[in-house]
Structure 1
């Protein structure tokens, strides 16, 4: 950019204070109260700030047509999401507004929670805690939990990972620390991509040979329902399915059937086809299922990371320099400028 005045950046996402301060040499940074609901930014009472903003950094706010109408100087939007579901891409493209995302912002903490689900499910952590809190551990049966909650160790067992990207590769690293053999299904990766750390194999091999299968593919038309009745039928009866990625990758009816009929060992689920999970959900009745309320990305570390990525994107845009990672072009498609 050749303007002498600093670009004005309106930040409505949760944002790291140190990162915001580091941007002030190059930008006029306006920090708004972070949104708690996914409503139009046009209705947030920020009309004066929108009128002068040349860039917006948003997470939950909708940057829609109504927002753009109130932001005539806007030229750049950073969506603090892996996929910019809160941004009207067509409207931005029509006005020449570039859109960037913050890919991988929660990859580390999602990998952490994935392993928490694996351990909790395989070692019956949640079930045994509920049993203990209910007052079932009696002096006359002190060794009962030792028998009732026997679980498998992870060392020497096989972890199957669906999707070898930002999260999947980090789950792989953790699995190797536990001494697991790792197999990855990812049609975009060559067979030797992970060297000796993991084999890149077919979906059927992952499903049929893994002790635990964990889901980390992005949700797109090709992956919706990727794990269906046929794939679940390939799993061994003592194998576990873990999903801290996208609920729709796994066919809901097929999963409920195998859980109901105990055709797999159990499941650990952080994502659900209906959120919040209904109070009458059958999932809540399954002792062999660990459930968490979509908390994989619930960490202050994610805010620090998406702030860093957003700051890099803003600097690259301001200087007309290419940035690493995906940027959405004016047709709304991913590109690497």
Structure 2
């Protein structure tokens, strides 16, 4: 037996962080699953019965899970948005749900900028062309002609969303000598000082050479870029989305791409995932595609492990972790029972 709080970890987790946590907690680590199942379906009845805390990433913490965990006091979702946790069910039990915001901000900014470069400089298209055996002695300079594009220095990058990822993309853009405009209605005009101008959406869209999407998906931003907004883009502009597909209206976007109304686009996110094999996007020659890999990095595991550990220590010390996803539900449940 142990007086240490019992922590059940089913997320991918940094072993060094586990070792440090073991000084204060009894930590049980389960091999991560990619199935996205309820923890109640994974044969963990004994572990759940003993758990004071669950740390999960893909596994679902639902009512069935809570029924098997009578001593549960805290859930940590290793996500920025805890879509794997039933927030209301946890609140009804008085269980706070902590999250790991910004865990993949750095690597998502990296991938976003890599996708931007690959799109603007035709990296994927030129590689496919080369691998297909098209480069010949008959015209050694042909690729120089057909894959010609723009440089980034002196160009304007429009960033939609100046949060954790958008702010990091800004830094990368400045390193390439770009002028940056940011659309974010929650930021003051001087949020980035001399590094960027915070401007209205229409101005950002109509004056940028490249636009990259990093606003969070919520009712107010779903379909933020519709037919009217996309029509504001310059014919020479590029559109990059490694954020959320639903920020851009699908019908309007496909019309723009089919008609080549912009120079090109790069996507890491899609309206349906996995991307169907018969998706029209796969047939378009003006689009660069990656299979939702922005967060695919070992560094993300290290970062969410660090943030989760911080939440656990704060909780064990009697405090409240800094990012509680169901604070509103907890307050409502408390008022109901008062």
Q: Is it true that 1:194 corresponds to 2:197 in the alignment?
A: no
- SS of residue paired to 1:196: coil
Contact persistence 1:35–1:60 (CA under 8 A) = yes
Q: Pick from 247, 250, 256: which aligns with 2:248? A: 250
Distance change >3 Å, CA 37–CA 248, structure 1 → 2: same
2:213 alignment partner in structure 1? 215
Once the two structures are superposed, what CA deviation does each residue of 1:25-77 show, in whole Å capped at 9, x if it has no partner?
11000000101111100011111000000000000000000000000000100
Provide Cα deviations, 1:1-35, integer angstroms capped at 9, x if missing partner.
xxx81110000000000011110111000000101
Structure 1 residue 165, shift from structure 2 partner: 0.3
> Which consecutive aligned stretches of 4+ in structure 1 deviate over 6 angstroms post-superposition?
none
In the alignment, the residues of structure 2 paired with residue 42 and residue 104 of structure 1 have an alpha-carbon distance, to the nearest angstrom, of 28
CA shift at 1:327, angstroms? 4.7
User: Normalising by the residue count of structure 1, what TM-score does the alignment of the two structures yield?
Assistant: 0.96
Q: 1:208 to 1:332 in 2, by over 3 A?
A: farther
SS of aligned partner of 2:4: coil
- CA RMSD, 1 decimal: 1.1
Q: Specify the alignment match of 1:182 in structure 2.
A: 180
Structure 2 gaps, min length 5: 332-338
For residues 293 and 72 of structure 1, the distance between their equivalents in structure 2, rounded to whole angstroms, comes to 39
Decide whether aligned partners of structure 1 residues 56 and 311 sit closer, same or farther in structure 2, where only a CA change above 3 A counts. same
Q: Residues 327 and 88 of structure 1: is their aligned pair in 2 closer, same or farther, counting only changes over 3 Å?
A: closer
- Equivalent position of 1:273 in the other structure: 271
For these two proteins, the number of residue pairs brought into alignment is 330
Query: Which blocks of at least 5 consecutive residues in structure 1 are unaligned?
Result: none
Contact 2:162 2:182 in 1 (8 A): yes
SS in 2 for 1:241: strand
Contact 1:63–1:88 under 8 Å retained in 2? yes
Among 257, 260, 269, the residue aligned to 2:258: 260
Residues 224-266 of structure 1: per-residue CA shift (max 9 Å, x gap): 0001111100000010110000010011111100000000111
Decide whether aligned partners of structure 1 residues 212 and 332 sit closer, same or farther in structure 2, where only a CA change above 3 A counts: farther
Query: CA shift at 1:326, angstroms?
Result: 4.8
**Compared with structure 1, are the counterparts of its residues 323 and 76 closer, same or farther at alpha carbon in structure 2 (3 Å cutoff)?**
closer
Match of 2:157 among 156, 159, 173: 159
Q: 2 CA distance for matches of 1:205 and 1:332? A: 41
Contact 2:98 2:323 in 1 (8 A): no
What is the CA-CA distance between 1:322 and the residue it aligns to?
Answer: 3.9
Q: CA deviation at 1:150?
A: 0.2
Distance 1:245 1:157 in 2: 22
Q: Distance in 1 between matches of 2:35 and 2:323?
A: 27
Relative to structure 1, is the Cα distance of residues 322 and 71 closer, same or farther in structure 2, using a 3 angstrom cutoff? closer
1:1-337 equivalences under 5 Å are 5-329=3-327, 331=329
Counterpart for residue 334 of structure 2: none
Answer whether contact 2:245 2:271 (CA < 8 A) is retained: yes
- Measured in 2, the distance between the counterparts of 1:218 and 1:151 equals 30
Cα distance in 2 for partners of 1:330, 1:203 equals 30
